[in-house]
Structure formats: C-alpha cells, structure tokens
Amino acid sequence: MKIRDLLILSLSSLILISCVQEVSSNKSNKSASAVNTSLPTSSNPPKYLSTSAQSQKSTAIKSGSFVSGEHTTQGKVSITSKDGKSFLELEQSFKTSELGPDLVVILHRSDNVIGSTKPPAYPLKKGDYIIIAPLKKYSGAQMYAIPNNINLADYKSAAIWCRKFNATFGAAKLNS
C-alpha cells in the first residue's frame, strides 16, 4: 500500500511540474507586440511633453470630469490646442487606481462610455476608441499630444482603459 501511495505522489508531482514548465514557456514566448497587434492605435507615436511645455499657455477646446467605471477614477480632463496642435491634459485633480496593468489614455466615440457598457468591467468594442498613449502616472497633471490625423469631432469622451483586461477604469464626457 505504501509503494502505491508513493507511486501516485511521484506521478502527480511529475505531471504538475510538466504543466508549470509548459505554462511558463508559453508566457515567455509571447511578445508584447504579438499580444497588442489587433488593438487600434494612432499611427503617430505618442509624444510626452516636459513640465515646461505643460506650463505654456493653451486654449481649451473640450473638457469634462471623470466618472468611475471598474475602479475609482476622478478629476478633470481637457482637450487643448496650442500652436495648431491638440493635447489631452489630465489636471492635477486626476487620480485612478493603481491595480490595472497596461493602462492607456483613449478617446472614445460615445458621450456616455460608462452608461453604454456593462459592469463590472465596462468593456469596449474595437473601433469605438483610439489609443492616445500609455498612462504615465496614476495621479496628477499629465499631458499627451494628440496626433494631427485624429478628427476630434469623432470623439466625445476620454477614458482610462486597461488594455489587457478590456476594462474601463473611468471616463469623462467631453463638452465644448
């Protein structure tokens, strides 16, 4: 009886170790670009601006306040224009959860992102949004350049979205 138990334990351990090695090798074989190739992004790479560039005078085009989705998100967002270029600005009051991996700043076609999606994740449909840039930090003032090829009239909200789990952390309706 003891030999049988030892044999079962050994066989179980061998199977468990094989599964763990297979899962870890599959994870290491996936590259970030392979995972994200189907997501819409702007054709121009994001441009991060220095603090001195943020402090220069700009004209607000649209603005709004965040409403929480899957995680608490608060603060104000504005679309501004300076020297013919558009920027998405998160104000000093901005704050979102640190629980999400792969958070990005997006523009969305709906004026009610949270109300038009289903809790708890508030998932987005491909084609309804465009990714502006990865979120730089979870709170405080931030500025993101919006590529010139984006027609701002097509987008009515800004949102913080977890790309990995298709979860909207929070969204803000942009009013003129």
Tens of pLDDT, residue by residue over 14-67, are 565 554 444 334 333 433 333 333 344 444 555 444 444 444 567 889 999 999
pLDDT at 36: 38
- How confident is the model over 126-135, as pLDDT tens digits? 999 999 999 9
Write phi, then psi, for 33 (nearest 5 degrees): -70, -35
The dotted CATH code for 51-173 is 2.60.40
Strands (E), the chain: 59-65, 67-68, 73-74, 76-82, 85-90, 95-96, 103-108, 129-134, 142-146, 157-162, 167-173
Give the separation between CA 115 and CA 15, rounded to whole angstroms.
Answer: 47
CB 171 within 8 A of CB 70: no
